[in-house]
Amino acid sequence: MKFDDRPHDVAALGDGAQAESTFAALAAPLVDEALAQNASIHADATPESLHQLRVALRRLRSLWWAYRPLLDKAENTRQRALYRFLADAAGRTRDWDILLELLSGSNDEADASDRARDVPASLREARERALATSRETLINADIRNVLHDALASTSKELNTAPERHALQKFAAKRVRIAEQSLRKRMRKAARAKRADYESLHDVRKAGKRVRYLIEFFGPALADIRHDRTIRRLKNLQQCFGELNDVIASIALLRDNMNLFPSDDEARGALAFLKERRRQRRREAVRLLQKA
């Protein structure tokens, strides 16, 4: 099930909409999506369900970031850290899925090396162990009550605040701040050295935040060009996401070299991923230079 990224109820609120009263309309579908994907993981943890849970939790984290100026700072920080913790719990298994996908060549060009395609069963077993840990973490976190409580408490805080903010003005300012952060990170990444993957990763994170905020507040934004901006950000996110997937897979493989039948096979798989990293980095830098 793919996440519905259309704006939720914002357009129907009219020009007089307030940021505070809009929050629940934005957050509730994200909470529902996260809970649906969490239930799916416990029934049948496909790579897609794990990915979509992470996406829903990241979007929640971005929404709480958007509303940060209107919320208690300490509580907002705690909520966003919680969403990151839950996303990371699902992410540990998702990282194994990406590594296996890359090594099997299932999503790669036809000339992927035969050695890289021969994935040891021990790696698939490690993925299942990671899944068991992810499930246990999410169960113990009581994600349903945690998310519903967060939605209720934050909505109450906003709706009982003495001051009100026009949605259009508030949304435009938060999107503008996110865009400024993205441009700053893009400039830094453009000047970065070849081995500085962290700056490229920062561009990816900043780009996702801008995209999510535009999707949240789109109908309330005066800029009619936001559809084109979203398409550009999706292209950036895909390219930089593919680079990040390879980087994360290299780190995971290095931590589990002992799972390969021989040192030669482990080194062969690592060399394969390093070459893929070089290709993906070149593509990311090229896209960055065009932006």
pLDDT tens track for 69-95:
999 999 999 999 999 999 998 888 889
**Closest among 137, 42, 44 to 87, alpha carbons compared:** 137
Predicted confidence at residue 2, as pLDDT, reads 40
What distances in angstroms separate CA 14 from CA 19, 27, 30, 171, 227, one per listed residue? Answer: 12, 18, 22, 14, 20
* Mean model confidence pLDDT for the chain: 86
Predicted confidence at residue 111, as pLDDT, reads 45
The Cα 280–Cα 72 span in angstroms is: 40
Predicted confidence at residue 18, as pLDDT, reads 93
What's the length of the chain? 291
Q: pTM for the full model?
A: 0.85
Predicted confidence at residue 190, as pLDDT, reads 85
Predicted confidence at residue 224, as pLDDT, reads 56
The Cα 27–Cα 60 span in angstroms is: 7
What distances in angstroms separate CA 214 from CA 6, 36, 103, one per listed residue? Answer: 10, 24, 35
Question: Which range among 101-105, 136-140, 155-159, 284-288 has the greatest average pLDDT?
Answer: 155-159
Predicted confidence at residue 259, as pLDDT, reads 94
Q: What is the mean pLDDT of residues 230-238?
A: 87
Per residue in 160-216, pLDDT (tens digit) is 999 999 999 999 999 999 999 999 999 898 887 777 889 999 999 999 999 999 999
Predicted confidence at residue 113, as pLDDT, reads 43
Q: What is the mean pLDDT of residues 228-252?
A: 90
Spatial contact of 183 and 236, defined as CB atoms under 8 Å apart: no
Any idea which fold 167-291 has?
Answer: CHAD domain (1.40.20)
Predicted confidence at residue 106, as pLDDT, reads 53
> For residue 110, what pLDDT band results from cuts at 50, 70 and 90?
very low
Q: What is the mean pLDDT of residues 32-36?
A: 93
The Cα 213–Cα 171 span in angstroms is: 8
SS3 category, 107: coil
Per residue in 127-150, pLDDT (tens digit) is 999 988 888 888 888 899 999 999
Predicted confidence at residue 112, as pLDDT, reads 42
Q: What is the mean pLDDT of residues 8-31?
A: 79
Predicted confidence at residue 243, as pLDDT, reads 94
Q: Residue 18 pairs with which residues in a beta bridge?
A: 166
Phi then psi for residue 166, to 5 deg, are -65, 130
CB proximity list for 148: less than 8 A, separation 6 or greater: 31
Indicate the domain borders of the chain.
17-165, 167-291
